[in-house]
């Protein structure tokens, strides 16, 4: 048993290396695949390999792409004077779904987090400053997450961008659409009051 279970143990270990997957969950996943039809296991393995083959990072905005530079960076219809800075490729997807933003992006691939040992060098910050040197950027929208790490990152970037002649903005803070004032947390409510606009 010990010897024959070795490939399963190795799979459990591989699963356990993924973020948020503890040893128990890794075991459950591995034994699910042990019992699953061969297609299910093959599909997952192939999806991993194909993704790794097909997906690269755009050398300009660092979003995921199949070609470098990515379709957004080379799109002549997009406003090249505005760069929206986000933490993750998924954030780009979320912003694209709004259909309201027509500028370019810059994906940091994370946020500053001293707790997790993530410093400026671990993020695509140097390359953002590099993009500023080209001089055609008028506005940088800091759209990092509205939490401690995102705010810290935005504050840090704002400081770095100050020497460049560029307008730096932070995405709006306030009550989400469909939200209920009664149930909003104090910080959000305070920010909503602060960010009030004339109607």
**Residues within the interface to a copy of itself (CB under 8 A):** 1-8, 10-11, 13-15, 17-21, 25, 27-35, 38, 40-55, 63-67, 70-72, 88-90, 92-93, 96, 109
Minimum gap (Å) between residue 193 Cβ and a copy of itself: 31
Q: Which is nearer to a copy of itself, 141 or 161 (CB)?
A: 141
| Residues 169, 195: Cα–Cα separation, whole Å | 13
| Residues 57, 115: Cα–Cα separation, whole Å | 27
Minimum gap (Å) between residue 196 Cβ and a copy of itself: 32
| Residues 178, 175: Cα–Cα separation, whole Å | 8
Q: Which is nearer to a copy of itself, 124 or 138 (CB)?
A: 124
Minimum gap (Å) between residue 50 Cβ and a copy of itself: 5
Q: Which is nearer to a copy of itself, 3 or 163 (CB)?
A: 3
3-state secondary structure of 136: coil
In terms of C-beta density within 10 A (0-12 exposed, 13-18 middle, 19 or more buried), how is residue 126 classed?
exposed
Minimum gap (Å) between residue 90 Cβ and a copy of itself: 6
Q: Which is nearer to a copy of itself, 48 or 190 (CB)?
A: 48
Region label for 120, one of left (φ > 0), alpha (ψ between -120 and 50) or beta (otherwise): alpha
Query: CB of 106 within 8 A of CB of 84?
Result: yes
């Amino acid at each position: 048993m010990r010897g024959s279970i070795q490939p399963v143990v190795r799979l459990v270990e591989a699963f356990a290396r993924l973020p948020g997957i503890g040893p128990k969950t890794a075991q459950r996943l591995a034994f699910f695949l042990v019992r699953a039809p061969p297609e299910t296991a093959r599909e997952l393995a192939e999806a991993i390999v194909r993704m790794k083959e097909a997906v690269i990072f755009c050398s300009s905005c660092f979003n995921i792409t199949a070609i470098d530079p990515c379709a957004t960076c080379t799109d002549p219809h997009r406003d090249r004077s505005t760069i929206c800075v986000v933490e993750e490729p998924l954030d780009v997807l979320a912003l694209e779904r709004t259909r309201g933003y027509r500028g370019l992006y810059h994906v940091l691939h994370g946020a500053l987090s001293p707790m997790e040992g993530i410093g400026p060098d671990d993020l695509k910050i140097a390359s953002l400053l590099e993009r500023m040197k080209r001089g055609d950027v008028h506005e940088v929208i800091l759209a990092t997450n509205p939490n401690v790490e995102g705010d810290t990152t935005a504050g840090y970037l704002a400081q770095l961008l100050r020497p460049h002649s560029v307008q730096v903005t932070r995405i709006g803070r306030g009550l989400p659409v469909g939200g209920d004032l009664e149930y909003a947390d104090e910080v959000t409510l305070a920010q909503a009051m602060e960010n009030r606009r004339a109607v």
